[in-house]
């Protein structure tokens, strides 16, 4: 947009010709929807383009009121522009204003420049023609009223467009806020779901651990009860034989070549009592003995055994059911158990069972 100074100190406003044609087509509805959208986006963003559109809109109304539009433009104007009730009111107001204001008359003795300036009235904006009334003449008062009304209408149009633009921005902001709220709710829901799954998994692990501990306690109780019953049966039985064994590699001797102790078990014997002598003084809470064959198969075990003293030796008494022994060579492993349940081997004992 440019301000061009004319003679006698007056100014006229001119816009790029391409923009003028584009805006006129937009106002007459003579373009496709995609192009129309681009024009609307431009006058929302470009204040100068918006001012040009406002001026050309008023000029288009003025040309229609004065019958200066071509047939095709007039037809498009009536079909598209007048389809809006607000626009029809503005056109009716312009028509009333045109009828109320007399046409500006130039004096017969006008200067040549004034005649030349008055000729191309249709090629300039109607509000440019209105500026001519600012020259001292008898129509100055009426012109001031029309200019004030024009400024008022321009302000109304600007407010309407600005309100539309702000409304669109507000709607976009609300949509963005709604989208952010939805995303936040989704993430919160996913987090809560994961927390519930983690808590459920921890609860399941705790339940499994409690079950295992319970089973372990029951198994320990059952084993201890069996051991106590076996010990009780062994002590209550009168049919038993007793043997004393010394710790060593193969039996009562300490040399590798010594033969294991031979234990002859009578047929009527119900249990065999072994007196396991300790190699040195020990101070364990209890002892546990395990009986294995020469092939390493365990055939008997007994815990909660206590050490006793016979003369100068410290011994542990082990009672084995006679039915657990068959002909063959055996190994007894004796382990001490401390207060924490830890075991430590204190001796190995070997013997050969023989049946009479």
pLDDT at 258: 63
122 Cβ contact partners less than 8 Å away, ≥ 6 residues apart: 63, 68
Within the chain, where are the H helices?
17-27, 33-45, 47-65, 71-79, 85-100, 112-118, 126-132, 140-236
pLDDT tens column, 334-348:
999 998 889 999 999
Look at residue 263 and tell me if it is in a domain: yes
Looking at 83, 108, 137, which one is the last position of a domain? Answer: 137
CATH number of the domain that 282 lies in? 2.60.40.2550
Question: Domain range holding 89?
Answer: 2-137
Averaged pLDDT for residues 105-116: 42
Averaged pLDDT for residues 279-290: 90
d(CA 124, CA 4): 13
- Residue 327 reports pLDDT greater than 80: yes
Look at residue 229 and tell me if it is in a domain: no
DSSP string, 65-77: HTT-S-HHHHHHH
Look at residue 213 and tell me if it is in a domain: no
Of the pLDDT bands very low, low, confident and very high (cuts 50, 70, 90), residue 104 is low
pLDDT tens column, 156-175:
888 888 888 888 888 889 89
Question: What is the SS3 string spanning 127-165?
Answer: HHHHHHCCCCCCCHHHHHHHHHHHHHHHHHHHHHHHHHH
């Amino acid at each position: 947009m440019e301000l061009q100074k004319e003679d006698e100190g007056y100014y006229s406003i001119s816009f790029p010709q391409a923009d003028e044609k584009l805006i006129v087509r937009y106002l007459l509805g003579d373009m496709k929807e995609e192009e129309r959208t681009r024009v609307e986006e431009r006058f929302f963003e470009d204040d100068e383009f918006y001012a040009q559109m406002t001026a050309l809109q008023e000029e288009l109304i003025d040309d229609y009121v004065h019958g200066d539009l071509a047939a095709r433009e007039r037809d498009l104007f009536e079909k598209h522009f007048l389809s809006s009730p607000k626009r029809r009111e503005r056109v009716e107001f312009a028509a009333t204003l045109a009828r109320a204001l007399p046409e500006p008359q130039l004096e017969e003795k006008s200067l040549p420049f004034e005649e030349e300036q008055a000729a191309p009235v249709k090629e300039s904006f109607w509000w440019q023609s209105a500026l001519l009334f600012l020259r001292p003449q008898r129509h100055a008062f009426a012109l001031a009223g029309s200019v004030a009304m024009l400024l008022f209408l321009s302000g109304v149009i600007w407010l309407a467009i600005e309100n539309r633009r702000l409304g669109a921005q507000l709607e976009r902001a609300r949509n963005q806020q709604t989208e952010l709220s939805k995303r936040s709710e989704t993430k919160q829901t996913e987090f809560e779901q994961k927390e519930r799954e983690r808590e459920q998994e921890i609860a399941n692990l705790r339940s499994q651990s409690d079950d295992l501990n319970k089973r372990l306690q029951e198994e320990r109780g059952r084993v201890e009860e069996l051991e106590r019953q076996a010990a009780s049966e062994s002590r209550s039985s009168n049919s038993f034989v007793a043997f004393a064994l010394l710790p060593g590699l193969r039996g009562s001797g300490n040399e590798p070549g010594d033969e294991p102790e031979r234990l002859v078990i009578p047929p009527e014997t119900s249990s065999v009592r072994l007196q396991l002598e300790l190699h040195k003084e020990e101070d364990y809470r209890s002892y546990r003995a395990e009986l294995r064959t020469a092939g390493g198969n365990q055939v008997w075990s007994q815990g909660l055994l206590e050490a006793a003293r016979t003369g100068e030796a410290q011994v542990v008494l082990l009672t084995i059911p006679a039915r657990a022994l068959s002909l063959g060579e055996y190994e007894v492993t004796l382990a001490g158990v401390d207060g924490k349940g830890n075991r430590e081997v204190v001796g190995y004992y070997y013997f050969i069972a023989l049946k009479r």
